[in-house]
Amino acid sequence: MMEAGAFIRAAQKEELRPYPRFLLSADEWQALSAALVETPHPALLALWAESDRVHALFQDENGDLLPVASPVVNGAYAALSPARPAAIWFERVIRDLWGHFAEGGRDYQPWLDHGTWAMAAPLSLRPKARVGEELPREFAAPEEEDVHQFALGPISGGIAKPLHLRITMHGDSPLAAEFYLGYAHKGIMALMRGKLPRVAARFAARLSGDATVAHALAYAHAVEAALGVQVPPRAIALRAVMAELERIAHHLFQIGVIAKTAKFGILHAGCGTPLEELRAGTALAFGHRLMMDCVVPGGLAADIAADGQATLLGTLDALQAKIQDLAALSFSEPAFLARLQGIGRLSEKLVRELAPGGPIGRAYGSHSDTRRRPGYPPYDSLEVPLPDVSSADAAGYLKILFAELRTSMDLARRLLEHLPDGEISTPLTASSGEGLGVAEAPRGDIWHWVRLDGGMIAASFAADPGWRHWPLLEAALVGGTLEDMPLCLACFHCSVSAVDL
Amino acid sequence: MLSLKLLQNLWKRPEARAFPPAQAEILAALQARLQEASQRRLGRSLAVRHVDTGGCGGCELELQALDSVIYDLSRFGLSFVESPRHADVLLVTGPVTHNMKAGMERAYAAMGQPKWVVAVGDCAIDGGVFQGSYACGNGVTTIPVDLVIRGCPPTPHQILEGLLTLLEANATGG
């Protein structure tokens, strides 16, 4: 049997911009699924479907992208989950939305479909009407003595996301943790279908509020690739400014949440001030505190405000000193650091299989950063350093967050100081094509795929890093004690809405 | 001699005169005054239970900002609580996905009287951009909404303004 990466490359190529796709027959797809069991490479980044085919996105050890597609025969395709645990969640969603069955899969429980919609498989060609059919998630009840289960959500905590968490405990050691999501399913892909790319951008921007720039950017990259549109340099620079500011906001928020959970109140409070200053700056410069709907296919919805450049440079100056103080505060508090040490340790095998991205992935030793590879403008002309990794736990993650804060501040400042003049948008053509776009969000790599038909969205899919991080979080929760669970949840801080679609 | 005294005291009626019954009018007036004073002193506090009915997380970010040192919600007597049983206000964000509808209604049912419902963000008000999806309704429609705060997402300032208005109405018995 050929090595899996070589096996994919030997297949027939199809047009998908900018990364050509490999088309496998159903038998070849099955052979691929068997070949993947032998090796951790290539890693699975995303798996999705259309009414007649199934798509996968792989990345090999050199960082090369391998998009693959295969026809769905009699409503079924060979499951990838035996070889790639990340595929489990995707396969469940493919069944819920398109109705395709993953043969030989590891989990057939519904996820997005809780039985409340008027139809089953809403993205299939002919969705079947359904009334009053409940599809409750079945959790395996513990059979051993001394083993108990407790359930949290979908409404729990203070200001919390809608999700259900089932934890199985033996005494006070966790045996299993399982998330049940789907409460935030809004049917975004159906809403995007048949709309002009700029209209549909509003949905891409609302996949995840704290990564709205990154999702809109990955989506815009996909549409622009499909239509072969060139974006003006000023728009490219301003998009990157927004993406870096979004990262700064996310990391500050994230450090605050970790501090709050670890009961380090002064650090939590300290993160709130620069975060609010940043939001005030983005509101002045771009007209929206979260910069929602600012990035659109073809460029930007509006130019930066007349005094926006000076405002943001001033904000960055003010933030610089505050963030330095926060870092000094964090790393001079041994009790805080000791609390974080060892939280979230995982087996290397599982980390390799799930290939996490972003600062979480980098804390586990991954070199993945899509700004570096595959790279996209303007980062090809800027240097994005990889942060130093100290330990694969929450303490190491905190260090990475601070290092990335410094990098993003530096990048945003350099971009703002050398802002090119000119147009901020290119008109889109009403042509057809397929595109795959990527953007490095605060939490990792976001992939958007679109198929355009006569200038309209015919099909789309968005892969948030959460797809690979949620299963990793399940494993991390089991690795520690009950008291460590809130800290694990705070560190991973996965998006519910972006994976619930 | 002593036993005689004891016996006499047992037979004698008490020296204290019977207390006249409370006068109904004065009682009512006093009660009203007390109520008003306590409402003024103790009514300036609302416990808020937040329910995310499937929003993108934007409104939640701004709610979290309210809890930060900048807005410092608790100085106004507003606090987020964990259980709907402890809450005066159900603060709903998100377009109310079909999957979250039952959860929201249950949280409302668990709250004691009197209770308020605040719909925060365009999604919760009428579904926002998600109107017409197979997976959600048009915002909060199955429980009575007392106050809406527009925006996608509304700024922390706008949310605070809305909640303070509600606080005022509650304190003045409106």
Alpha helices in A297-393 (DSSP H): 308-331, 334-340, 348-354, 358-363
Q: Residue type for B48, please?
A: V
- Cβ of residue A111 closer than 8 Å to a chain B Cβ: no
**Domain span including residue B127:** 43-171
| B38 pLDDT higher than 60 | yes
Same domain, A18 and A90: yes
Share of chain B above pLDDT 70, in %: 94
Q: Among partner residues A114, A155, A212, which is closest to B58 by beta-carbon distance?
A: A212
Tell me, what's the pLDDT at A216? Answer: 96
Per the structure, the count of domains in chain B is: 1
Per CB-CB distance under 8 Å, the chain A contacts of B129 are: 191, 202-203, 206
Same domain, A299 and A404: yes
Same domain, A213 and A296: yes
Q: Among partner residues A157, A183, A497, which is closest to B57 by beta-carbon distance?
A: A497
Per CB-CB distance under 8 Å, the chain B contacts of A114 are: 98-99
Q: Among partner residues B50, B130, B153, which is closest to A186 by beta-carbon distance?
A: B130
Classify burial at A432, counting beta carbons within 10 Å of its beta carbon; exposed 0-12, middle 13-18, buried 19 or more.
middle
Residue among A112, A123, A159 with most chain B CBs within 10 A, to mutate: A159
Same domain, A106 and A193: no
Residue contact A186–B69, C-beta within 8 A: no
- Of A129, A152, A175, the last residue of a domain is A129
Q: Are strands B46-52 and B89-93 parallel, antiparallel or unpaired?
A: parallel
CA-based nearest residue in chain B for residue A271: B68
Cα separation, A355 vs A282, in Å, equals 33
User: Does the residue A148 lie in any domain?
Assistant: no
pLDDT digits (tens, 9 = 90+) for B71-80: 888 888 888 9
Per CB-CB distance under 8 Å, the chain B contacts of A112 are: 99
Q: Among partner residues B57, B62, B68, which is closest to A495 by beta-carbon distance?
A: B57
Which candidate, A359, A371, A361, places its Cα nearest to that of A214?
A371
Q: Among partner residues B98, B133, B153, which is closest to A191 by beta-carbon distance?
A: B133
Cα separation, A84 vs A36, in Å, equals 8
Same domain, A88 and A193: no
Distance from CA of A198 to the nearest CA of B (A): 14
Residue contact B100–A269, C-beta within 8 A: no
| B43 pLDDT higher than 70 | no
Q: How many CB pairs below 8 Å do chains A and B form together?
A: 139
Tell me, what's the pLDDT at A133? Answer: 67
Same domain, A116 and A200: no
DSSP B15-74: SSPPPPPPPHHHHHHHHHHHHHHHHHHHSS-EEEEEEE-S--SHHHHHHHHHTSTTT-GG
User: Does the residue B105 lie in any domain?
Assistant: yes
Alpha helices in A10-121 (DSSP H): 26-38, 87-97
Cα separation, A33 vs A58, in Å, equals 12
**What is the longest distance spanned by two Cα atoms in chain B?**
98
CATH code where residue B97 lies: 3.40.50.12280
- Of A82, A103, A129, the last residue of a domain is A129
Residue among B48, B75, B97, B157 with most chain A CBs within 10 A, to mutate: B97
Per CB-CB distance under 8 Å, the chain B contacts of A289 are: 62, 155
CATH code where residue A361 lies: 1.10.645.10
What is the pLDDT tens value at each position of chain A, 501 positions in all? Answer: 578 888 899 999 999 989 999 999 999 999 999 999 888 889 999 999 999 999 999 998 888 899 999 999 999 999 999 999 889 999 999 999 999 999 988 888 888 988 888 888 899 988 888 866 666 677 777 777 788 888 887 888 788 889 999 999 888 888 889 888 999 999 999 999 999 999 999 999 999 999 999 999 999 999 999 999 999 999 999 999 999 999 999 999 999 999 999 999 999 999 999 999 999 999 999 999 999 999 999 999 999 999 999 999 999 999 999 999 999 999 999 999 999 998 888 888 888 888 899 999 999 988 889 999 898 999 988 988 888 888 889 999 999 999 999 999 999 999 999 999 999 999 999 999 999 999 999 999 999 999 999 999 999 999 999 999 999 999 999 878 888 899 999 999 989 999 999
User: Does the residue A162 lie in any domain?
Assistant: no
pLDDT digits (tens, 9 = 90+) for B16-33: 777 767 788 888 888 887
User: Does the residue B57 lie in any domain?
Assistant: yes
Per CB-CB distance under 8 Å, the chain A contacts of B70 are: 272-273, 276
Match 């959500």 to its residue by tokens: A153
Per CB-CB distance under 8 Å, the chain B contacts of A199 are: none
DSSP A134-153: --PPPPPPP-STTEEEEEE-
User: Does the residue B118 lie in any domain?
Assistant: yes
Distance from CA of A96 to the nearest CA of B (A): 12
- Cβ of residue A128 closer than 8 Å to a chain B Cβ: no
CATH code where residue A23 lies: 3.30.460.80
Per CB-CB distance under 8 Å, the chain B contacts of A152 are: none
Same domain, A194 and A277: yes
User: Does the residue B86 lie in any domain?
Assistant: yes
- Of A129, A160, A175, the last residue of a domain is A129
Per CB-CB distance under 8 Å, the chain A contacts of B69 are: 269, 272-273
* Dihedral of alpha carbons A193, A194, A198, A203, sign: negative
**Domain span including residue A460:** 188-500
Q: Are strands B89-93 and B116-120 parallel, antiparallel or unpaired?
A: parallel
User: Does the residue B18 lie in any domain?
Assistant: no
pLDDT digits (tens, 9 = 90+) for B103-114: 999 999 999 888
Per CB-CB distance under 8 Å, the chain A contacts of B154 are: none
Residue contact B61–A162, C-beta within 8 A: no
Does ipTM come in above 0.85? yes
What letters, b where the CB count within 10 A reaches 16 and e where it falls short, cover A168-203? Answer: bbeeeebebbbbbbbbbbbbbbbbbbeeebbebbbb
Cα separation, A348 vs A174, in Å, equals 20
Residue contact A183–B97, C-beta within 8 A: yes
Residue contact B153–A209, C-beta within 8 A: yes
User: Does the residue B99 lie in any domain?
Assistant: yes
Classify burial at A86, counting beta carbons within 10 Å of its beta carbon; exposed 0-12, middle 13-18, buried 19 or more.
buried
Tell me, what's the pLDDT at B40? Answer: 62
- Cβ of residue A119 closer than 8 Å to a chain B Cβ: yes
Q: At what angle do helices A233-261 and A394-417 cross, to 10 degrees?
A: 150
Residue contact A209–B56, C-beta within 8 A: yes
| φ/ψ (deg, to 5) at A460 | -155, 165
Per the structure, the count of domains in chain A is: 2
CA-based nearest residue in chain A for residue B87: A158
Residue contact A272–B130, C-beta within 8 A: no
Question: Angle at CA A405, nearest 5°, toward A349 and A399?
Answer: 45
Tell me, what's the pLDDT at B113? Answer: 84
Average pLDDT over residues B69-89: 89
User: Does the residue A79 lie in any domain?
Assistant: yes
